[in-house]
Amino acid sequence: MPIEVREILARVSSSPRYAEPVDLSKFAWLSIAAALATIGLKSWAAWTTGSVGLLSDALESLVNLVAAVVALFALKVSIKPPDDNHQFGHSKAEYFSAAVEGTMIFVAAMFIIYTGVERIANPRMPERLGVGLAVSMVASVINGVVGMVLLSQGRRRRSATLVADGRHLLTDVVTSVAVLVGVGLVMVTGVQILDPVVAILAGLNIIWIGYRLVHHSVEGLMDIALPPDVEAKIAEVLDRYRSTGDADFHAVRTRESGNHRFMEMHMLVPDEWTVKRGHDLAEDVIDALVLVEPDLRVSVHLEPKSDPKSYEDIDDV
């Protein structure tokens, strides 16, 4: 056995193979709190000024609140242990949450665009714009900070729900900035049509963000393979075991499911090996793989090297 492999096995011998799922619902509660705060601030700003741009901004914050509640539910469901009806766990619940958020973004964007077109047809000069701008800026700062926290934690923990919610809030910030620009231009130029025009442009941008969220969610539900950098680490581990001359591998397949990752493969060993010897090596390989990718769940099918049937399903995916 290579020295590198022995060192890896020594490091994993004293720790459990699979870590317990982490409850990330506290971040959803943070998102809910931010949504409630920004709804109040932006609604007051929209009511005070009569700005359609600020109204569209407030409506998107309402969508943020519903999305955050959906995210909370999905995060709670995703960490439930496997049961008789869901034997691989519930981690895909996160993709449903992200898809819901993407769909809601579409709905909010269409309403924003509709409101903007209606205001172009029936223009009205906003009032008390200075106060509205100040209040909206405070709300945007809240969303920006919370959005960055959610996005950072979502990427670090590979949570589709937190990433979607974080992007949603940052999209809200982009919308708010666009609205602030539009309202500011109205203040400077007195051209009232600039307010709904900027709102429409912000709505089009939101549609693009919503499409990306839905696309990512669909890929997860379709069992997309692990990222190339992770598969490269997996290949490196398997190559170390190949170098011993005892084992070979084929039909290696990976898939991502929320914050869980799955892998299956066929391991070929010498015909004269006992089942126990082959099983022990398979367990060592699994431990080494989990060391480089802790959320990986590995399934190994043992096969004899010289049996032609062992190569009937050799295709790698």
Residue 273 maps to which CATH number? Answer: 3.30.70.1350
Q: Note whether residue 2 is domain-resident.
A: no
Quick check: is 9 in a domain?
A: no
Give me the pLDDT at residue 271, please: 93
Q: Are residues 44 and 149 in the same domain?
A: yes
Domain shared by 197 and 140, yes or no: yes
Question: Do 123 and 191 have their domain in common?
Answer: yes
Residues 152 and 101 reside in one and the same domain: yes
Same domain, 143 and 202: yes
60/204 same-domain check: yes
Residues 56-106 pLDDT 10s: 667 767 777 877 888 888 888 888 887 888 877 777 777 777 777 777 777
229 contact partners, CB below 8 Å, separation of at least 6? none
What six digits make up the tokens of 292?
A: 């480089």
Instruction: Judge if 84 and 173 occupy the same domain.
Output: yes
Mean pLDDT value of segment 193-207: 77
Q: Is residue 38 located within the same domain as residue 71?
A: yes
pLDDT band at 317 (very low <50, low <70, confident <90, very high): very low
Q: How confident is the model at residue 276 (pLDDT cuts 50, 70, 90)?
A: very high
Residue 292's domain spans which residues?
226-311
Kindly state whether residues 194 and 289 are assigned to the same domain.
no
Q: Is pTM beyond 0.85 here?
A: no
Give the confidence band of 275 by pLDDT, cuts at 50, 70, 90.
Answer: very high
| Residues 298 and 267 placed together within one structural domain of the fold | yes
294 alpha-carbon distance from chain centroid: 18
Position 51 scores a pLDDT of 67
Minimum mean pLDDT among 142-146, 176-180, 278-282: which range?
176-180
Q: Is the pLDDT of residue 224 over 90?
A: no
Strand stretches in the chain, DSSP E: 248-257, 260-269, 296-304
Q: How confident is the model at residue 125 (pLDDT cuts 50, 70, 90)?
A: low
Question: What pLDDT does 127 receive?
Answer: 58
Residues 60, 161, single domain; the answer is yes
